[in-house]
Amino acid sequence: MNQHVHDPYVLKAKHEGWRSRAVFKLSEIDEKDHLLKPGMTVVDLGSAPGSWCEYAVRRIQPGGRLIALDLLPMDPIKGVTFIQGDFREDEVFRQLTDALEGRMVDLVLSDMAPNLTGIAVSDQARGMHLMELALEFCRMHLKPGGDMLVKVFQGSGFMELRDEVVGVFERLQVRKPAASRDRSAETYLLARGKRLQPL
């Protein structure tokens, strides 16, 4: 708790008025890799409390559309369509599809993480399952040439999942932004250029 209170990114987020320190993970990657552009349709999976939405919705205006989803409630953000529910449930998936109104997605963001139990094998499996769901969503709704930025935890199943992503996208890069705590196993896969035909 003490470390969190004195974390420079927590203090910076409070000072600048962001909802959480996580915003600096996305902003650093965006500044390096130029992910977000005006007019894009973006889906943010695992969006609460909403700092990625706060940042992204500004970057995709004018003309952009952002649809966010989380199991937890999220206070409204102007310009963001929010759906509360479990991404693994068919009904919630349908609501997300309906909100797209037939649009193909330019970019899928996912900072989803499972509720950790402390049992490493179980936590890793649940994290990988969330990643597989995000990839499946990309297969269905991401336009050819579109991109995906997704949080993963290195461990069992990571290399197999990485190979699966390479089959769907032209390029794959790994990003560990400065705001990601050193002791955390989290890293981000940046998958660029969805293939017309998966390998």
Q: Is 16 left (phi over 0), alpha (psi -120 to 50) or beta?
A: alpha
Closest CA to 17 of 46, 40, 50: 50
86 marked as part of a ligand binding site: yes
| Residue 151 is among the residues annotated as catalytic for this protein | yes
111 marked as part of a ligand binding site: yes
Say whether 27 sits in a helix, a strand or coil: helix
> Catalytic residue among 14, 32, 143, 151, which?
151
50 marked as part of a ligand binding site: yes
Q: Which residues are known to be catalytic?
A: 151
Q: Residue positions in the annotated binding site?
A: 50, 52, 70, 86, 111
Q: Residue positions in the annotated binding site for S-adenosyl-L-methionine?
A: 50, 52, 70, 86, 111
